[in-house]
Amino acid sequence: MIKEFKEFAMRGNVVDLAIGVIIGTAFGKIITSLVNDILMPPIGLLLGNVDFSNLFINLSGGKYATLAQAHEAGSVTINIGVFLNAIIDFLIVALVIFLLIRQLNKLEKKDEKPAEVTTKTCPYCLTEIPVKATRCPACTSDLK
C-alpha cells in the first residue's frame, strides 16, 4: 500500500498540482497586498477618506472607531470592508488567470499543424478517393 501511495504521489499530475497550489497561494498573498495596500487606499481617499478595512456594521450596539476595537470588545460585526476587499482580490485573480489561460490557448493553436489532406474528390463521379489514387475505384475513370 505504501508503494502504491508513493507511485501515486510521484506522478507528474500530483507534483504539478502541488506546485500550482504553492504558487497560487503566494500569488494570492501578492494580490491581497495589492488590493489592501495599493488599490483600496486611493479609492477610499476618492470616496471621502473611507478606510475599507474598517468599514463594518456593529450588531452588538455601541460605537467603535475601528474593527480591531470592536473585536477587542467582543462585539459581533458584519465586516463589509473586508468582504469588499475579498471580492476585489477574487476579481483580480480571476482576471489574471483568464488572461493566462487565454494566452496559453493562443500558443497551443499556433503550434497545431493543419491536418494533412488524405482524400480528394473524383471529378467525374464525385466519390471521395485517396489522394495518391490514379484511377477512381467507383467509376474507373483515369485520374492524372
pLDDT at 112: 64
Q: How many CB atoms lie within 10 A of CB 70?
A: 22
Q: Are residues 81 and 46 in the same domain?
A: yes
* Together in a domain, 94 and 124: no
- 8 and 75: one domain? yes
Q: Is 35 exposed, middle or buried (0-12, 13-18, 19+ CB in 10 A)?
A: buried
Q: What are phi and psi of 79, to 5 degrees?
A: -90, 80
- The CA distances from residue 142 to 134, 136, 137, in Å, are 6, 7, 10
CA distance 28 to 47: 26
Q: 57-58 and 119-121: which strand pairing?
A: unpaired
| 50 contacts 44 by C-beta, under 8 angstroms | yes
The pLDDT tens digits for 42-89 are 888 888 887 788 888 899 888 888 888 988 988 999 999 889 888 988
What three-state secondary structure class fits 141? Answer: coil
Residue type, 96: V
Q: Examine the domain organization and report whether 85 and 107 are in the same domain.
A: yes
Q: Could you tell me if 131 and 103 lie in one domain?
A: no
Stated pTM of the model: 0.57
- Interatomic CA distance for residues 50 and 120, integer angstroms: 70
Instruction: Using alpha carbons, select from 85, 84, 4, 73 the residue that is nearest to residue 37.
Output: 85
Q: What is the pLDDT of residue 94?
A: 85
Distance CA 27, CA 141 (A): 66
Segments forming the whole domain that contains residue 138: 115-144
pLDDT reading at 143 higher than 80: yes
Q: Are residues 64 and 133 in the same domain?
A: no
Dump pLDDT digits (tens) for 3-56: 887 777 777 677 777 888 888 888 888 888 888 888 888 888 888 887 788 888
pLDDT digits (tens, 9 = 90+) for 89-135: 888 888 888 888 888 888 877 766 777 888 999 998 999 999 888 88
CATH number at residue 34: 1.10.1200.120
